[in-house]
Amino acid sequence: MVSGGDRRADNVMLLEKILSQAPDAPSLLLRRDVYAEDDHPSLIRDVLAAANADAGSTRHVLFGVQAMGGRIHVLGLESDALDRFQELSQGLAELIEPDIQLTPILAEAHGKPVAALQVSGCTNPPYTLRKGVAEDMRTGACWVQAGGDLRPARRADLERIYARRAAVPAVPVEIGLNQDPGCLQIQLDVPDTYRPPSQRARAKLLSAINANKAAAGMLGGEDTGLARLAHARIFGADEPFVRRGVDTLVEQYNCTTDEYSDADNYYYYEQQAVKLDFTIRNNEPAALDGVEVELNLPQVPGFQVAERLYFDPAGEGSEIESRLAGYPEVDKGAGRATVNVKLGSLAPGIAQPLFEKRLRLHVGPEMCGMKVAIKYQLTASGLAKPIRGRLKLVFRKQRP
């Protein structure tokens, strides 16, 4: 038996996942407030439009929120609005055909009350009004979303719905790129990685070596004043002058790669990295438990996956801290990298990030005009067999 406290905790967790989605996700409708207590037609329009959207089998109508800065901002609801929400939600499912399931959700987010109406079992569109409730909401009315607005369905809308239902097999769980679980391919620019810190340091040391050799050749020996001028020109006036001979500079030049390895990693895997978002959505009507995802990526010259987060070596971050920062587990082998993540329970109908931190890639100039396939496998206790798929990265040729 589930206690009231457990149910409230579950609602809070579910609401957090819903709010983590992009505000323009097709599975969401955002409303600042609840409609007036006698305004059933407006809520029915919302439910019909949500049920007919091109999304997973579960969608949500949220109350007490708004889109702001690319995120869902919580406004909260007054107590009378919460009472209206509960009253308006009663008996709605009986007015819609084919059958769907409507589940009211009440919880707090950021200390403010929020309500959501979960619309699930949306596997047999189009959904229409079973009986009339208003002059403009007669029996058979069908509503859809179009460009962020709601409107009555047109013939073209119905044709798209039937074509979508016939052509696209139901996928229990979708995994896609960026914030779209249906996005299977993206184009990316190859970043400029021609000047890592070690190369810049080597260039300065080489200039210093040549300057010392030239001074010695002209003057027949070392001149401290000339050395200071050369140092300021090459390394800048802010770096203190230290007298170094040619042999010392050559030794430093040969050790540059090791000395700057942390700075180079930060440059390749953070400053100039390609950072990938992956999004997952459970299209099943119920939650899936024991969800695990494995990604397989190639490892070739010019395409490397970061095994961890790299902090600025001038800062105070450590390797241990980077591993605690939510970066996925990466296992590298011969010619491949495997990324594993255990999600546990996956609520229905919610598009959520696959990782806490985006996957970091070092992409070199060798990848210009190339394509990379990312294979994935998903397992869960509620699935009869693993779900396998493929995502594709297309790297554009650099512009002149």
**Alpha carbon distance 79, 59 (integer Å):** 24
More confident residue, 221 or 127: 127
Average of pLDDT values for 16-31? 89
Report the C-alpha gap between 276 and 176 in whole angstroms.
Answer: 11
Q: Any idea what the CATH number is for the domain that residue 367 is in?
A: 2.60.40.10
Do 322 and 358 sit in the same domain of this protein?
yes
Region 182-203: what's the mean pLDDT?
85
- Coil, strand or helix at 123: coil
pLDDT per residue over 297-328, tens digit each? 999 999 999 998 988 887 766 666 666 678 89
Asked whether residue 264 is domain-assigned, the answer is no
For residues 105 and 57, state if they share a domain. yes
User: Are 157 and 189 contained in the same domain?
Assistant: no
Residue 180 lies in a domain: no
**Span 337-356, pLDDT tens digits:** 999 999 989 988 888 899 98
Cβ burial of 324 (10 Å; 0-12, 13-18, 19+) is exposed
3-state secondary structure of 140: coil
pLDDT at 320: 61
In a domain, 82, yes or no: yes
pLDDT digits (tens, 9 = 90+) for 233-283: 555 556 665 666 666 666 666 777 677 788 888 999 999 999 999 999 988
State the pLDDT at residue 17.
87
Looking at the fold, whether 95 and 150 belong to one and the same domain comes out as: yes
Whether residues 154 and 68 share a domain: the answer is yes
In this structure, the answer to whether residues 254 and 301 fall within a common structural domain is no
Residues 11 and 147 in one domain: yes
Residues 306 and 335 in one domain: yes
Residues 370 and 282 in one domain: yes
Confirm whether 178 is domain-assigned: no
Cα–Cα distance between 373 and 387 in angstroms, integer?
Answer: 16
| Residue 352 CB partners (closer than 8 Å, separation 6+) | 17, 20, 21, 279, 280, 281, 346
Residue at a domain's end among 208, 227, 259: 259
Domain holding 350, by residue range, is: 185-193+272-396
Total domains in the chain come to: 3
Asked if 179 contacts 351 with a C-beta cutoff of 8 angstroms, the reply is yes
CATH number of the CATH domain containing 111: 3.30.950
Distances (CA, A) of 228 to 208, 220, 223: 11, 17, 9
In a shared domain, residues 236 and 333: no
Q: How confident is residue 199, by pLDDT bands cut at 50, 70 and 90?
A: confident
Q: Is residue 252 located within the same domain as residue 276?
A: no
